[in-house]
Chains A and B, each alone.
Chain A
Amino acid sequence: MNTGSPHPPSPAWEDLVTAALLGTDRRTPPGTPPGRNAPSALLDAAAAETVRRRAGLRPGPAAPRPRPAPEDPRPPLPTAAARRLALLLADRPGTAQGGRRGTAPDLIELLPQWLTAVNDRGFAAPPESLPALLDAARARTDLRPAALRFAGPRAPWLARLNPDWRFALRASPGGGMALPGPEETRRVERLWQEGLFAERVSLLAAIRSRDPDAARELLEATWSTERAEDRLMFLDSLRTGLGPRDEPFLEQALADRSRNVRATAAELLSALPQSALAARMAVRAGACVAVDHTVDTPTLLVEAPHECDAAMERDGVSAKPPSGRGERSWWLGQLVEAAPLAGWSARLGRRTPEQIVALPVADDWLGELHAAWCRAAVRQRDADWSRALLGPPSAPGAGGPGAVSLAERAKLLGALPSAERAEWVAGFIAAHGLSEAFQLLGVCAVPWAAPLGRSVVDALNIARDAGSYPWSFSGVMGLAERCLDPSEAARLDALLAVPDEPEDASPGAGGYWAEAFQRLCRTLRLRAAMTAELDVRDAGPCGA
Chain B
Amino acid sequence: MTQQGVRWSVDQVLALAPDSASRKAGSKLGAAGPWSGTGSSREGAVWGLCKGSGSTPYRTVVDVVGGSGAAGPAYKCSCPSRKFPCKHALGLLLLWSGGEESVPAGQAPDWAEQWLASRRRTQEKREADPAGSASGPADPEGARRRAERRAERVTAGATDLEERLADLLRSGLATAEQAGYGLWEETAARMVDAQAPGLAARVRELGAVPASGPGWPVRLLEECALLHLLNQGWLRRERLPDALAATVRTRVGLPSSPQGRPVRDDWLVLAEYDRTDPKLTTRRIWLYGVSSGRTALLLSYGAAGRAPELTLPVGLVLDAELSAHPGTGGRRASLGEQFAPPVPTGVRPPGTTTAEATARYGEALRDDPWLDSVPVTLDDVIPVPDGESWQLADTAGDTALPLAPAALARPGLWRLVALSGGGPVKVFGECGHRGFTPLTAWPAGPGNAVRLC
Interface residues of A (CB under 8 A from B): 1-4, 16-17, 20-26, 38-40, 42-44, 46-47, 49-51, 54-69, 80, 83, 86-87, 90-92, 95-97, 102-105, 107, 127-132, 154, 157-158, 161-162, 518, 521-522, 525-526, 529, 541-544
Contact = CB atoms under 8 A, between A and B. Distances in A.
16 contacts: A39-B167, A47-B369, A51-B229, A59-B400, A62-B398, A67-B422, A69-B421, A86-B14, A87-B94, A91-B28, A104-B29, A128-B419, A131-B415, A522-B33, A526-B32, A529-B31
Task: Identify the 3 closest CB pairs spanning chains A and B, nearest first.
Answer: A23-B172, A522-B33, A68-B422
A162 B217 contact: no
Nearest to A96: B24
A65 B400 CA distance: 11
Nearest to A36: B166
A44 B21 contact: no
Question: Interface range on chain B: under 10, 10 to 19, 20 to 34, or 35 or more?
Answer: 35 or more
Interface stretch (B119-127, B218-226, B249-257, B298-306): B218-226
A65 B397 CA distance: 12
Contacts of A51: 226, 229, 365, 369
A63 B393 contact: yes
Contact of A16 (B175, B221, B362, B391): B221
A536 to B, nearest CB: 10
Interface string B418-450: 110111000000001111000000010111101
B358 interface: yes
Contacts of A26: 172
A47 B225 contact: yes
B24 A91 contact: yes
A3 B31 contact: no
Nearest to B421: A69
B182 interface: no
Interface in B1-46: 9-11, 14, 20-21, 23-25, 27-34
Given A59-B355, A107-B28, A154-B418, A24 B33 contact: no
A414 B365 CA distance: 73
Contacts of B34: 103-104, 522
Contacts of B217: 17, 20-21
B362 A522 contact: no
A134 B344 CA distance: 29
B14 A127 contact: no
A107 B31 CA distance: 10
Interface of B: 9-11, 14, 20-21, 23-25, 27-34, 94, 97-99, 162, 165-175, 215, 217-218, 220-222, 224-226, 228-229, 232, 344, 354-355, 357-358, 361-363, 365-366, 369, 382, 384-387, 391, 393-394, 397-402, 411, 414-415, 417-419, 421-423, 432-435, 443, 445-448, 450
Contacts of A131: 411, 414-415, 418
B448 A43 contact: no
B402 A83 contact: no
Given A23-B175, A525-B33, A43 B169 contact: yes
Contacts of B225: 43-44, 46-47, 49-50
B402 A3 contact: yes
Contacts of B27: 87, 90-91, 107
A147 B35 CA distance: 31
Given A23-B172, A154-B421, A60 B402 contact: yes
B10 A21 contact: no
Contact of A58 (B166, B169, B358, B446): B358
Nearest to B55: A498
A544 B448 contact: yes
Given A67-B422, A91-B28, 13 more contacts: A1-B433, A17-B218, A23-B172, A23-B173, A43-B165, A55-B362, A66-B385, A66-B422, A69-B423, A97-B24, A105-B28, A130-B418, A526-B33
A158 B418 contact: yes
A157 B422 contact: yes
A55 B400 contact: no
A108 B395 CA distance: 39
B228 A40 contact: yes
A78 to B, nearest CB: 12
A38 B30 CA distance: 65
A55 to B, nearest CB: 4
A265 to B, nearest CB: 46
Contacts of A60: 391, 399-402
Contacts of A47: 225-226, 228-229, 369
A22 B172 contact: yes
A43 B28 contact: no
Contacts of A103: 33-34
Nearest to B163: A39
A119 to B, nearest CB: 19
Contact of A39 (B166, B361, B447): B166
Contacts of A57: 358, 361-362, 433
B421 to A, nearest CB: 4
Contacts of A92: 24
Nearest to A90: B27
A544 B25 CA distance: 23
